[in-house]
Amino acid sequence: MKKFEGVVLAEKPDVVVVVGDVNSTMGCALVTSKISFDATGSRPMIAHVEAGLRSFDRSMPEEINRIVTDHVSDLLFVTEESGIQNLHKEGVSLDCVHLVGNTMIDSLLTFKDKAEESAICEKLGLRTRSAKNSKPIRPYALLTLHRPSNVDNRDGFLSILAVWRNWRRIFPSYFPSIPNTAAH
């Protein structure tokens, strides 16, 4: 076993699991596809979670990451039927494609009760203490932005914010931002 920044790595892992469509997902899949542990060229299998998703917009870096990752992976775990169809159209053998569900929805459902116990809706005036664990007393909007295609293009980003300002006139709207979005 090797230790890397506090993480223990097996000398020769049998499977490398990559998730999503970010640069590090593609990078890890690509490097793993080129690793050779011995003279026979054995390497770990690559399992891609959230495989088969497509926007069909190759100007998005994430779309290129999805395609490359899927095509170097040995096991493709898809979140929905369209993922199976997309991979089939791209010539991927359906023997390695598995419909497993959506990790984001699974996480949401796993932590739903804990989220409902949170006092944030009370603090924001969206629910009274007596209404705890019930639906908010009034509708609200929550905006999140993180994709470079939404935040790195100034005109596009300002267009999204203009729509968000209109929502704010109708009902309370919240925009928690991550560092790369806040920098804009």
Coil, helix or strand for 83? helix
CA–CA dist 152, 60 (Å, integer): 12
CA–CA dist 74, 183 (Å, integer): 38
* Euclidean distance between the first and the last CA atom of the chain, given in angstroms as a whole number: 43
List Cα–Cα distances, 105 to 58, 69, 97, 110, in angstroms. Answer: 26, 22, 20, 8
Residues recognised as catalytic: 146
The one-letter amino acid at 159: S
